[in-house]
Amino acid sequence: MRGVGPMRLSVIVPVLNEETVLAPTLAALREGLDAADELLVVDGASTDRTVEIARAGGAVVVESPRGRGLQMNAGAARAAGDVLLFVHADTIVPAGYRAGLERLLHDADIRWGRFDLAFDDGGPLLRLIARLISGRSRMFRSATGDQAIFARRDDFEAVGGYREATLFEDVDLARRLRARGRMGVPGGRVTTSARRWRRRGVWATTFRMWTLKSLYLAGVPAQRLAKFYDDER
């Protein structure tokens, strides 16, 4: 298959009051970056030490109106890379993540993708849920934002970037990227915080999130579902 040239990676991290989790996320990201790559933290008007921590972690801070879709689009507009990687503030990328991305994207047929998932809480139920999320994603060629979605810049721009809806902007983007080419899954897992599950309970959170996602995929507008979804970003 036809290969591609050297990759320039732009990592985009949307944040809002994430002082308790951001530093290790940025440390893991910076460890894998090449000199030509860039790390962008897009702040939605945080009122804590998030911006200070971002700058101390070597990131370029971009200001944006609040809203994850808005913030990620603002980061993409500022980014110079030919590959965009979107990472949540409470998600740790695996060692060697960049090299894995570059190997994967050497295949020009792979246009976008995401990582398999693990939670930072090691309980058996959450391990099972993480495996189910990863398996469902492979089966349906879909992705959630917790899985660190990446895309070639030209494909991201061709589908219009994130739609700046109140929720499920990640599922919506993946659905549009599928039409551009194959989804890739690098080796290793991203580790994301289980704080949402711990706060409300594993079963209650899983039921609520999967029910809302099923309704969204069945055609219920995201704006109607937003009132049932606590935005804990």
In the prediction, which pLDDT does 224 show? Answer: 63
How many whole angstroms separate alpha carbon 211 and alpha carbon 167? 14
Indicate the domain borders of the chain.
9-199
CA–CA distances in Å: residue 174 to residues 56, 120, 124, 159, 217: 32, 24, 28, 10, 12
SS3 61: strand
Residue 67 has pLDDT above 50, yes or no: yes
Grade residue 79 by pLDDT with cuts at 50, 70 and 90: very high
**Is this model's pTM higher than 0.85 or not?**
yes
How many whole angstroms separate alpha carbon 212 and alpha carbon 216? 6
Q: Cα-flanking dihedrals φ and ψ of residue 226, to 5°?
A: -60, -30
| Range in 47-61, 89-103, 131-145 with the lowest mean pLDDT | 131-145
Q: Hey, what CATH topology would domain 9-199 get?
A: Spore Coat Polysaccharide Biosynthesis Protein SpsA; Chain A (3.90.550)
Q: Cα-flanking dihedrals φ and ψ of residue 78, to 5°?
A: -85, -25
48 vs 165: which has the higher pLDDT: 48
Average pLDDT, the chain: 88
What are the tens digits of pLDDT across the range 121-166?
A: 868 888 888 888 888 888 888 898 999 999 999 999 999 999 876 6
Residue 5 has pLDDT above 70, yes or no: no
Q: Mark 104-114 as b/e (b = at least 16 C-beta within 10 Å).
A: bbeeeebbbbb
| Range in 14-18, 96-100, 170-174, 183-187 with the lowest mean pLDDT | 170-174
Number of helices and strands in the chain (H, E): 10, 10
What are the tens digits of pLDDT across the range 167-220?
A: 778 888 999 999 999 999 999 999 998 887 777 777 667 666 766 666 666 565
